[in-house]
């Protein structure tokens, strides 16, 4: 079985890429449909926003948990289960009868976040060493490609059909990928049979959910409100309790010593910064190019920026980043194989900083947006691929799923913070007499902060793995494999 399975590395990679693409598209495809969802399901702006929020929350919790279960019970088995859960979520969302059922089915879809750590683990276990970095680079790139393509595709669907087709179209690649994974992807030979750390999973889940809800709802509830303060205290208490518990249980869900390992720790710190810089820019650009769409004639003359783009056209501004990102991921894998994974990571953060700085300084013409977005996509592709490669090389094969899952959580936390900081800056810089329309200063400051954050991330990346220790660390980490 293993010999037969290992003859089809490209087939396996194509199947994993299909599954990752299905998830990446579902992240963003609902964004252009939110007004239609609110109207058709007779709900409020607050509740329709939870169609996005609940997906994010469940993905953040499910990614490390399912990644760990994959390490324990088999990555191919858990990947199949994850794809089936995502498929069920798509089918249910397409048939949703009210906002509550739609939110529930979107929560089920969020389990798809585990596709990426499970895929990374399969690649590391099944591929020859010279193909691992390129494979991880491609899968990592797919994670970011969905941004531009998903929004454009969703805009076309919403303009010409009902929003239910968003989920019908999303169910097809999940179904195909699930069948192909079961048929062609061999089960991983590397497992760590152990008891499920229920306490650790529960404490981490509650802490993460409380923290992310506080971050996502802080702007609308008020950062000084009692609800936000309570959630913050709950998050701190449960995450601290989780850390203490993981240090004491014999078989922890997440080995805290592994997270404290220098390459893992600094890569995760860079992941938080990368999420902050990237997500802020991706959220800001569509808002910028859509202005002054929908403004009353009485105030339109006060707005001296933007291109009055529709939701579909706004997605087109993201397409250059999607194209360059797709090619940058595998290229980063090639560079990492020949040098060190920290160099493409540092380069990716530097390119992200250059793109954000360019958007802050020059944004009067369409090409001044399109070119930096292409650079931003290359930077994101390099960063995502490099982080996944660094993590997989720094931990034992039996820890790949949970380690890469935690890195995804770090990027998610950074992205949520970046989105909230961007929203706060836009709210703080508004044009008088426009009812709260952001001024160009708000966008400029937000892009500049993203550039500074990415520059700091580039500096941190340089210290991820000292070159003189790289070979020795690989040998130290590789030694336990014989017993796995």
Are the folds of 1-191 and 254-484 the same?
yes
Q: Where are the domains of the chain?
A: 1-191, 197-252, 254-484
DSSP 309-359: --HHHHHHHHHHHHHHHHHHHHHHHHHHHHS-THHHHHHHHHHHHHHHHHH
Q: Which of 158, 69, 113 is nearest to 415 (CA)?
A: 113
Locate 473 and state its tokens.
Answer: 């660390």
pLDDT, position 151: 78
pLDDT, position 439: 86
- Long-range interactions of 441-444: CB distance < 8 A, separation 24+: 443/284, 443/287, 443/288, 443/305, 443/360, 443/363, 444/360
Question: Alpha-carbon distance 169 to 154, whole Å?
Answer: 10
Bridge partners of 438, per DSSP, are: 430
Phi-psi region of 359 (alpha: psi -120 to 50; beta: other; left: phi over 0): alpha
Q: Which of 415, 296, 439, 301 is nearest to 352 (CA)?
A: 415
Q: Which whole-number Å values give the CA distances from 169 to 31, 91, 205, in the listed order?
A: 15, 10, 30
Locate 179 and state its tokens.
Answer: 């069948």
DSSP 157-168: HHHHS-THHHHH
Locate 393 and state its tokens.
Answer: 């090389």
pLDDT, position 188: 75
pLDDT, position 476: 43
Backbone angles phi, psi at 150, to 5 degrees: -65, -45
Q: Which whole-number Å values give the CA distances from 441 to 164, 199, 355, 360, 361, in the listed order?
A: 38, 47, 17, 9, 11
pLDDT, position 415: 85
Question: Alpha-carbon distance 383 to 450, whole Å?
Answer: 15
pLDDT, position 109: 95
Top-tier CATH class for 254-484: mainly alpha
pLDDT, position 470: 44
Query: For the chain, how big is the Rg over CA atoms in Å?
Result: 22
Contacts of 139 (CB under 8 A, 6+ apart): 13, 16, 17, 20, 116, 119, 120, 123, 329, 388
Q: How many CB atoms lie within 10 A of CB 238?
A: 21
In sign, the C-alpha dihedral spanning 53, 54, 56, 57 is positive
Question: Alpha-carbon distance 260 to 247, whole Å?
Answer: 12
The angle at the Cα of 404, spanning 399 to 410, to the nearest 5 degrees, equals: 130
Instruction: Tell me which H or E stretch contains 23.
Output: helix 9-28
Question: Alpha-carbon distance 473 to 356, whole Å?
Answer: 35
Contact between 60 and 212 under an 8 Å Cβ cutoff? The reply is: yes
pLDDT, position 475: 40
Question: Within the chain, which residues score under 50 in pLDDT?
Answer: 1-5, 7, 466-484
Locate 140 and state its tokens.
Answer: 């990592």
Question: Alpha-carbon distance 64 to 197, whole Å?
Answer: 12
- Mean residue pLDDT of the chain comes to 85
pLDDT, position 150: 81
Instruction: Give the domain 1-191 fold.
Output: Growth Hormone; Chain: A; (1.20.1250)
Contact between 380 and 321 under an 8 Å Cβ cutoff? The reply is: yes
Residue position matching structure tokens 């890429």: 17
Question: Alpha-carbon distance 194 to 102, whole Å?
Answer: 36
Q: How distant is the alpha carbon of residue 192 from its chain centre?
A: 27
């Amino acid at each position: 079985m293993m010999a037969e399975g290992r003859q089809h590395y490209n087939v396996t990679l194509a199947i994993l890429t299909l599954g990752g693409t299905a998830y990446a598209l579902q992240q963003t495809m609902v964004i252009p449909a939110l007004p239609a969802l609110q109207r058709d399901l007779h709900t409020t702006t607050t509740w329709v926003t939870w169609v996005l929020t609940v997906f994010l929350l469940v993905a953040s919790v499910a990614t490390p948990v399912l990644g760990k279960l994959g390490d324990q019970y088999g990555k191919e088995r858990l990947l199949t289960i994850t794809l089936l859960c995502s498929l069920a979520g798509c089918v249910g969302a397409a048939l949703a009868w009210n906002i509550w059922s739609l939110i529930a089915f979107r929560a089920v879809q969020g389990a798809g976040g585990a596709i990426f750590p499970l895929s990374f683990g399969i690649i590391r276990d099944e591929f020859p060493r010279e193909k691992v970095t390129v494979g991880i680079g491609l899968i990592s790139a797919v994670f970011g490609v969905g941004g531009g393509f998903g929004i454009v595709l969703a805009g076309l669907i919403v303009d010409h059909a009902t929003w239910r087709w968003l989920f019908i179209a999303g169910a097809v690649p999940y179904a195909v990928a699930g069948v192909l994974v079961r048929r062609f992807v061999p089960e991983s030979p590397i497992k760590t049979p152990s008891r499920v750390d229920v306490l650790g999973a529960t404490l981490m889940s509650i802490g993460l959910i409380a923290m992310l809800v506080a971050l996502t709802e802080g702007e609308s509830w008020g950062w000084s409100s009692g609800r936000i303060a309570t959630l913050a205290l709950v998050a701190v208490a449960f995450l601290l309790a989780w850390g203490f518990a993981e240090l004491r249980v014999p078989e922890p869900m997440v080995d805290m010593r592994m997270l404290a390992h220098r390459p893992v720790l600094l890569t995760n710190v860079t992941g938080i910064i990368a999420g902050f810089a990237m997500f802020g820019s991706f959220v800001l650009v569509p808002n910028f190019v859509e202005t002054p769409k929908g403004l009353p004639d009485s105030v339109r003359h006060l707005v001296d920026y933007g291109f009055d783009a529709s939701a579909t056209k706004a997605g087109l501004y993201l397409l250059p980043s999607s194209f360059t990102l797709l090619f940058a991921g595998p290229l980063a894998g090639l560079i990492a194989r020949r040098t060190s994974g920290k160099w493409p990571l540092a380069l990716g953060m530097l390119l992200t900083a250059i793109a954000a700085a360019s958007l802050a300084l020059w944004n009067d013409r369409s090409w001044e947006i399109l070119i930096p977005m292409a650079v931003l996509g290359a930077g994101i592709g390099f960063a995502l691929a490099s982080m996944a490669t660094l993590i997989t090389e720094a931990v034992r094969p039996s820890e790949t799923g949970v380690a890469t899952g935690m890195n995804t959580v770090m990027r998610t936390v950074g992205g949520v913070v970046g989105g909230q900081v961007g929203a706060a800056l836009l709210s703080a810089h508004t044009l008088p007499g426009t009812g709260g329309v952001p001024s160009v200063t708000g966008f400029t400051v937000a892009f500049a902060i993203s550039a500074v954050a990415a520059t700091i991330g580039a500096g941190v990346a340089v210290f991820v793995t000292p070159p003189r220790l790289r070979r020795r660390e690989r040998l130290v980490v590789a030694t336990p494999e014989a017993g796995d």
